[in-house]
Amino acid sequence: MRIAIGNDRNGIQYKLKLMEHLEAQGHQVFDCGTNENFPADYPIYGERVGRLVADGTCDRGIVICATGIGICSAANKVKGIRAGLAYTDDVARLMRAHNDANVIAFGQDFMTYEDVQKRTDIFLITKFGGGYHQTRIQQISDIEEGKPITQTPMMNTDNKHVRGQ
């Protein structure tokens, strides 16, 4: 798999370790981040990752900053990107299975490296579930295109998210 990874100075340490881990697994990794330990604008690196994923150069993306939120927000501004902050293992899986996320975000200051590595692996192996989730993905695409969206008919009035599913 081709993976773009970007970071500001707050994500250098995890990025370097994660790149080594991913390359050892046989992935081709594109370094879109900084390696300089001085203030850098995280939107630049989030956008770089987003554009490489959106144009098909890379299959998936990883973004890292102090909290994960800023760089995730920047990546999400690129049309076609669905990025999410993987704050638990279940979220890393569900963002792929339900949301067809193509970029995963981490906050180096608030997550252990071991959790980041595990959640990255989960994100990379999980397939999109399709089905009724595809309707929501299409709605997101329609928002990007400026098209109106409407509520879809409920398939099941008892349809509630069950944790871990």
Domain boundaries, the chain: 2-129
Please give the pLDDT value at position 117. Answer: 98
Q: Is the pLDDT of residue 119 over 70?
A: yes
User: Residue 164: is its pLDDT beyond 70?
Assistant: no
- 30/3 Cα distance (integer angstroms): 6
Residue 162's CB: how many other CB atoms inside 10 A?
A: 5
**CATH architecture for segment(s) 2-129:** 3-Layer(aba) Sandwich (3.40)
In a 3-state reduction of DSSP, which class is residue 100? coil
Q: What is the pLDDT of residues 122-156, one digit of tens each?
A: 999 999 998 888 888 899 998 899 999 888 776 65
Other residues' Cβ atoms within 10 Å of the Cβ of residue 24:
8
CA angle 82, 84, 85 (to 5 degrees): 165
Provide the annotated active-site residues: 65, 98
Report yes or no: 105 and 83 within 8 Å, Cβ to Cβ: yes
Cβ atoms of residues 47 and 96 within 8 Å: no
At residue 152, the pLDDT reads 79
Q: pTM for the full model?
A: 0.91
7-27, pLDDT tens digit by residue? 999 999 999 999 999 999 999
